[in-house]
Amino acid sequence: MIIFRYISKEIFTALVALTVVLLLIFMSNQCIQYLNAAAKGRIPGMFILKLMLLEMPNLVALLLPLGFYLAIILSYGRLYAESEMTALFVGSYSPQRLLRHTMLLAAVVAIFVGVLVFWVAPWISYERLRILKSTGVKILIQTLAPLQFKTAQNGQLVFYVEGMSKRHETAKNVFIARLLKDEKWQIIWANEAKGQENQATKEDELVLLKGKAYIGEPGKANYQLVDFNKANVRLPHPTSNAETDIRTASTASLLPFLNQDKNKAAELQWRISVPVMVLILAFLAVSLSRVKPRGGKYANLLPAILIYVIYANFMFVARNWVVIGKVPVWLGVWWLHFGFFVLAYFLWWRNARKFG
């Protein structure tokens, strides 16, 4: 038990450090993409932090298998290089017990990853996609910059505001020009504007307070003038279709296992594959971490990373093959896992023969 606690501490300390580093790298890359989108007015800048936080559970679920894999290789590699593992094997501790203890730790990580991919990730994906794909009036207001013209719908809609509230939810002194179906223009000037959801249609509307509206055709004097205290204006905009993305579907909705819908079958197999990958990578890592005493503890790191890159990339390929029907649903992605399990078993068998 003392040895198990010692090994567990070594692995999980390395796991936390590696996962944090990997998470920072991937989060930085994602942050740059969101900043570019915000600079182009596609998403409000105030949503960047929320989107980044929503990215974290998905990234953690995908990075934990890699982090755990590298943690085993680095931790065990150090123990082998400094002859600590040799000293353990001289006693009552055996390579078989090392494998059992490693797989026990892998099972804990796999369960945690499974919770993330089966239940947390679908909900997170829905929330993230809802924000990204929602281009309603509320977001339109939040992306407006004071004293700057903003065009939409290929120049058929023009906005201008003189100021914004602190929370960027209410625009002050608003100018709106939009082209109507009969080639007439509607010019609106209002003291305030804000986005509000219509309870009946569940669509965002622009609520204008205290203003004037002019409707007419350029070059003609027959303009209509309307004064209003409050006006609700519906602006054409694409609605969110986050529910159509398979990643937002609950795991229960993807059943049965051999689903005739190839998209659902591929997504279900993908979600199962992530925790399975943790177990197979752990099996691989036990063999790949073995180095000669006083040798380089990073000697096998490069081939280990190469194996992971091949495994991870073929995971995406295998899922795509299920979607396009290149492989039957019953075979799915399991041929890939079986192949790497055979590789892991071969490396374990070779080490057993070589080192006894």
Higher pLDDT, 233 or 142: 233
Q: How much of the chain, in percent, has pLDDT values that exceed 70?
A: 90
Give mean pLDDT, residues 212-222. 84
What local confidence, expressed as pLDDT, does residue 145 receive?
74
Report yes or no: 174 and 159 within 8 Å, Cβ to Cβ: yes
Per DSSP, the residues of 293-356 read TTS-TTTTHHHHHHHHHHHHHHHHHHHHHHHHTSS-TTTTTHHHHHHHHHHHHHHHHHHHHHH-
pLDDT for residue 41 is more than 80: no
Q: What is the reported pLDDT for 116?
A: 96
Q: What is the mean pLDDT of residues 117-123?
A: 94
pLDDT by residue (tens digit) across 76-116? 999 988 888 888 888 788 889 999 999 999 999 999 999 99
What is the predicted pLDDT for the residue at 331? 95
The maximal CA–CA distance of the chain, rounded, in angstroms, is 100
* pLDDT score recorded for residue 241: 46
Distance in angstroms (rounded) separating the CA atoms of residues 288 and 9: 20
Residue 208 token pair:
């204008």
Provide the pLDDT for residue 242.
Answer: 46
Q: Which two tokens stand for residue 28?
A: 């930085």
Share of the chain above pLDDT 90, in %: 49
Of residues 125 and 135, the one with the higher pLDDT is 125
Number of other CB atoms surrounding residue 342 within 10 Å: 10
- In this prediction, residue 300 has a pLDDT band, given cuts at 50, 70 and 90, of confident
- Tokens encoding 306: 């190469």
Both structure tokens of 159 = 């906005």
The arithmetic mean of pLDDT across residues 308-324, rounded, is 96
Going by pLDDT thresholds of 50, 70 and 90, the confidence category of residue 237 is low
Pair 215, 224: CB distance under 8 Å:
yes
Which of 54-68, 72-86, 195-209, 214-228 comes out lowest in average pLDDT? Answer: 195-209
Match 């990204």 to its residue by tokens.
132
For the stretch 128-142, pLDDT in tens is 877 766 555 666 666
Q: What is the pLDDT of residue 326?
A: 94
pTM: 0.79
